[in-house]
Structure 1
Amino acid sequence: MKTINIKGLDKPITTLIQGSDYFKPDIYETVSTVLDRYLALGGNIIDTAYGYSRGQSEVAIGMWLEERNNREDVIILTKGAHPDPNGPRVNRECINNDLSVSLERLKTDYIDLYALHRDDPNVPVSTIIDILNEHIEAGRIKAIGVSNWTTKRIQEANEYATANNKIGFTFNSPNLSLAKAKEPYFPGSISADKEYCAWHEETQMPLLSWSSQARGFFTGHFTPEDRSNEDLVRVFYSDANWERYDRAEQLAKEKNVTLIQIALAYVLNQPFPTCAVIGPRNEEELNSCYEGANIPLTREEVEWLEHGKVRV
């Protein structure tokens, strides 16, 4: 499986990241089968969060790590400081609490990649970087990043870190997909647009995309006339996205692959380091992702898929 490097880790991560938002102990047999199969295919990183399945995702992963005794072989990406009904939670008390609870649930004493699940623009980036650096110095975190932040705030945080001899953010996890979001899928979430991607190309910061296949938009199960999935209609149904769908379908036929594999290949063939969080629940879906991750696309093909420009 292909890999990229993230500053702060001593080994590369695979470009396919196993998602776990549905994991919980009462389906542990399914969880262990999914994770065993993913590792057997060469994957090495699991994405989770303090809030996934009301915390049960981390619990299930911790059970599996303990049972398999393979913590050193697996890279854990988890996230904290997600807002609650009372508002933002990007502060010392909440960050410390969420990290401590995640460590306990995962049955580990360190997190490889720790991300803040949302931002609070009212909190100075200096405060955030200082808090997270305390945990890095204590050995509880290896590398820090963010999910659903603006590039402006990421840039400000890293400029502060550089100026003050601190460790800054070394990865970012927004949504990036061939289908462009009309509005946030989740409250406060961010999808990478042209300007956002240009910043990543300039900085070469790794982008770890969630919903990289647009929540099933490219499965072939939906049409412009089928409006049964309200969230897909709300976020991804647009003339421009259906045109991208048609181009992806055309390219898939030319390359003798599937539509959804082209959608995944689009994410993994950007001019900057990228990974895709995937959620296969069976061997067929995992193999499809693996094959899609190995499809090379030229810069011209990526541009054509997105904008319809003439391919060379």
Structure 2
Amino acid sequence: MEYVKLGRSGLDVSEICLGCMSFGVPERGNAPWSLNEEQSRPIIKRALELGINFFSTANMYSDGTSEEIVGQALKDFARRDEVVIATKVFVPMRQGPNAMGLSRKAIMTEIDKSLSRLGTDYIDLYQIHRWDPHTPVEETMEALHDLVKAGKIRYIGASSMLAWQFAKAQHVAVSNGWTRFVSMENRLNLLYREEEREMLPLCKDEGVGVTPYLPLAAGRLTREWNEQTLRSEKDHIAKALFEKTEEVDRKIAGRVAEVAANRGVSRAEIALAWLLQKEEVTAPIIGSTRISHLEDAVSALSVKLTAEEIVSLEELYVPHPLV
């Protein structure tokens, strides 16, 4: 495993990040395909054995139980200073006013709850899960800066927004001497490449690390197109993301299969190798419900695609609706 700086920060992270939405109590929250604590712990332990030090969760994953499972496992299997824990804030965790968004009140409430569930004194990377159009960005950025100064978080990151929104937030931070975002967690894979237009160039120019989620398109790039899994049946969010572009996406997935067969490697390794060879990308976020998924992801680090293979994988893409 190699380690790289997260953007222009001094933070060292593994080139693979373990996404933790797969871990949580299945009966709680929005991931009925998630693994319970007993099933999750071996995967987290294997990730550490493979050299992965970067773990990304969110307060809303499985109603907070993802943070609980991940926090306890990392406490049992690693020293706190050896791992980089990332979590997120935005999505409502209860009903009623001030229950969601990026107001000072919401952020200050949710940070303490995340710290408690994770069982740690600080979070390495605290990310805003979405853009909040109902809160002044100045209020959000100052609240995040105050948490850094209070020692509750070390770095801040963002996720899933338009490039102008991200640029505005960075400008507000710089103008006021507040903490800047060091990372962008956005959706990027062979089936959805709209981030190449504005967000990736912005991140490159600003020195922001890119940690793509759904790098395997929720498994669509790893198996036969019509093959069903528990997640593909139950993950209605992922279904909504891909259902409108199925015709062209199926062709691209077929091209991944061809390149993988010619190489004698898995489809997951090819799809991840494509991402890893993008200079803007720091660490794809891999969701794993099996140890073999994790090992395939690490194996992808040694797969170097040729220019011809990259053209073959990219040439079928057509513009997709922004999500």
TM over 0.5: yes
Provide the residue aligned with 1:194 in structure 2: 197
Instruction: Determine whether 1:12 maps to 2:20.
Output: no
CA offsets per residue over residues 184-217 of structure 1, 9 Å max, x none? xxxxxxx735333333344342111111100111
The 2-side partners of 1:21 and 1:249 are apart by: 26
The equivalent of 1:274 in structure 2 is 282
1:261 matched to which residue of 2? 269
1:203 aligns with 2:206: yes
Amino acid at match of 2:88: K
The CA deviation at 1:233 is: 5.7
Structure 1 contact 180–193 (Cα < 8 Å) conserved: no
Aligned residues: 299
In structure 1, the residue matched to 2:28 is none
Partner of 2:182: 170
Quote the residue 2:155 is aligned against.
143
Corresponding residue of 1:296:
304
Distance 2:172 2:165 in 1: 11
Q: What is residue 55 of structure 1 aligned with on the other side?
A: 64
User: Cα distance, 1:234 vs. partner?
Assistant: 4.2
Give the drift of 1:254.
2.9
TM-score in terms of structure 2 length: 0.83
Provide the C-alpha distance between the structure 2 equivalents of 1:277 and 1:36, rounded to a whole number of angstroms.
17
SS class of match (1:238):
helix
Summarize the Cα distance change of 1:292–1:29 in structure 2 as closer, same or farther, 3 Å threshold. Answer: same
Quote the residue 2:22 is aligned against. 22
- TM-aligned CA distance change 1:272 to 1:298, over 3 Å: farther
- TM-superposed CA distance for 1:9, in Å, is 5.7
> Secondary structure at the residue paired with 2:195?
coil
Q: Deviations over 1:2-40 (max 9, x none)?
A: 332125864410121112223237933322211111100
Q: Secondary structure at the match of 1:114?
A: strand
Farther off after superposition, 28-37 or 77-86: 77-86
Residue 224 of structure 2 corresponds to 221
The code of the aligned residue for 1:17 comes to C
Structure 1 residues 234 and 140 mapped into 2: Cα distance closer, same or farther (>3 Å)?
A: closer
User: 1:299 Cα deviation (Å)?
Assistant: 5.8
The residue number in structure 1 matching 2:121 is 109
Q: Is the 8 A contact 1:4 1:13 kept in 2?
A: yes
* Pair 108,291 (structure 1): closer, same or farther in 2 beyond 3 Å: same
Secondary structure (helix, strand or coil) at the match of 1:31 reads: helix
Counterpart-to-counterpart distance in 1, 2:247 and 2:204: 27
Query: 1:260-297 CA deviation, whole Å, 9 max, x = no partner?
Result: 22111122111313311112233322211111232223
Report the CA distance shift for 1:151/1:284 in structure 2 as closer, same or farther (over 3 A): same
TM-score of the two chains, using structure 1 as the length reference: 0.85
Render the CA deviation track for 1:66-112: whole Å, top value 9, x for unaligned: 33352111110000122466685210111111111001111111100
Contact 2:100 2:106 in 1 (8 A): no
Deviates more, 1:67-76 or 1:151-160: 67-76
Between stretches 25-34 and 267-276, larger displacement belongs to 25-34
Pairing of 1:29-44 with structure 2 (within 5 A): 29-44=38-53
**Structure 1: runs of 5+ lacking an equivalent:** 182-190
Residue aligning to 2:76: 67
Answer yes or no: is the 8 Å Cα contact 1:83–1:118 preserved in 2.
no
- Tell me if the contact between 1:8 and 1:143 (Cα under 8 Å) persists in the aligned partners: no
Task: Give the direction of change, closer, same or farther, for the CA distance of 1:167–1:27 in structure 2 (3 Å limit).
Answer: same
Indicate if the aligned counterparts of 1:7 and 1:143 stay in contact, CA closer than 8 A: no
**Structure 2 residues without counterparts, runs of 5 or longer:** 26-34, 318-323
Instruction: Give me the CA root mean square deviation.
Output: 2.8
Structure 1 counterpart SS, 2:283 = strand
Query: Aligned with 1:221: secondary structure?
Result: coil
1:246 aligns with 2:254: yes
Find the partner of 1:96 among 108, 125, 129. Answer: 108
- Partner of residue 235, structure 1: 241
- Which residue in the other structure is 1:185 paired with? none
**1:171 match: secondary structure:** strand
SS at match of 1:146: strand
**RCO higher in 1 or 2 (8 Å CA, sep ≥ 6)?**
2
The question of 1:306 aligning with 2:314 is answered yes
**Structure 1 CA distance, aligned partners of 2:186 and 2:120?**
26
